[in-house]
């Protein structure tokens, strides 16, 4: 197998430092509890590595870019009352 083929099959590097739950919450200016809720609902990508949540900054940026401009966490999913 040539070096070119080995590089092609290798997984892409992360390319940046992974963020902790607390750091992700600071980036988004949310509580850690709120970030955890978004993760459990599938709205923020994160992974548990060594029993700790880890996040890529690019995933946090994508969450921010895709969020509605007037998103109210408490009201999301309510009937608008």
Domain at 23, CATH number: 3.90.105
Does residue 55 belong to any structural domain of this protein? yes
Does residue 59 belong to any structural domain of this protein? yes
Domain count, the chain: 1
Q: Looking at residue 15, what DSSP letter applies?
A: -
Q: Looking at residue 68, what DSSP letter applies?
A: -
Nearest Cα neighbor of 24 from 50, 47, 56, 52 is 56
The answer to whether residue 81 scores a pLDDT higher than 80 is no
Does residue 50 belong to any structural domain of this protein? yes
Structure tokens at 11: 């997984």
- pLDDT, tens digit, for every residue of 6-20? 556 666 666 678 999
CA–CA separation, 51 and 12 (whole Å): 23
DSSP secondary structure string for all residues of 23-49:
HHHHHHT--HHHHHHHHHTTSS--EEE
Structural domain containing residue 35: 16-66
- pLDDT, tens digit, for every residue of 27-80? 999 999 999 999 999 999 999 999 999 999 999 999 999 888 876 655 454 444
Does residue 78 belong to any structural domain of this protein? no
Which pLDDT score is estimated for 64?
92
């Amino acid at each position: 197998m040539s070096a070119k083929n080995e590089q092609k099959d290798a997984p892409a590097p992360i390319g940046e430092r992974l963020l902790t739950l607390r750091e992700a919450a600071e980036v988004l200016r949310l509580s850690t509890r709120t970030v955890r809720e978004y993760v459990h609902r599938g709205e923020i990508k994160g992974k548990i590595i060594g029993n700790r949540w880890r996040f890529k900054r690019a995933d946090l940026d994508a969450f921010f870019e895709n969020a509605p401009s007037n998103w109210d966490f408490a009201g999301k999913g309510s009937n608008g009352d």
